[in-house]
Amino acid sequence: MGLLSEALQRDDITLPRAYQLINRSIRAVEKMKDMPGKHLKEVMESLEKGNFKGVTINPESTKSQVRINLPQFYQSLVDNLHSRLFALTASNKPAASSQSGEFETLVSEIDILNSQHWPINVDSPWFEGEAKLEQLCKRFRLSYASICEGFRDYIDNGGAEIPENLKPVVTAVNSLLVTSGDC
């Protein structure tokens, strides 16, 4: 979680990149439900040995402590990441399902600009992608006609180079704030 926090605080972080990092962190936490991470393994081994980095652990002092249900703890962490980080509201307020859906729609629209997420063997015109691009252009009040041509060129070059007439929407997407700390 520390790596995620640091990455999200970078000045050059974009919304698509933040979304990718958050999803990766959620997948990592979900995997920890079944297999503990290296730090938890170290703690568990130390408890068994009765010694943590040269400090003796008194077995009597650990008997009265409540054991944490790790799968439940990790699931709670995953749920909180979903509810707070994928919301259009302040992080201390629960996200309304319509706002959560709007965020997912925005990310889906932005995702068409990432050639790694295109369907296999996509070619232009890609009508599904163009429909999402049109919505993205409406959000940012950009001219869809010229940007669509750039998008088709982008598809034709396999996402290798962003054409000039696609750059306005790419710039708009990359200017979206990831955290309220950027305000």
pLDDT at 80: 82
- Specify whether the CB–CB gap between 6 and 178 falls below 8 A: no
Cβ-contact 95, 86 below 8 angstroms: yes
Which runs of E-coded beta strand occur in 24-170? 51-52, 55-56
The pLDDT score that the predictor gives to residue 87 is: 55
Number of C-beta neighbours around residue 66 at 10 A: 5
CB 76 within 8 A of CB 109: no
Q: What percent of the chain has pLDDT over 70?
A: 84
Contacts of 101 (CB under 8 A, 6+ apart): none
Q: What is the pTM of this model?
A: 0.63
Name residue, tokens 């729609």.
105
In the chain, domain spans:
14-53+64-96, 112-174
- Under 8 Å CB-to-CB from 32, ≥6 apart: which residues? 40, 70, 74
Strand partners, 55: 52
Q: What is the tens place of the pLDDT at every residue in 33-49?
A: 888 778 888 878 887 88
pLDDT, tens digit, 9 for 90 and up, residues 134-163:
999 999 999 999 899 999 999 999 999 999
C-beta pairs of 26-29 under 8 Å, 24+ apart in sequence: 26/78, 26/81, 26/82, 29/74, 29/77, 29/78, 29/81
CA atoms 143, 148, 153, 157: torsion sign: positive
pLDDT tens digits, residue range 42-75?
878 887 888 888 888 776 766 667 677 888 888 9
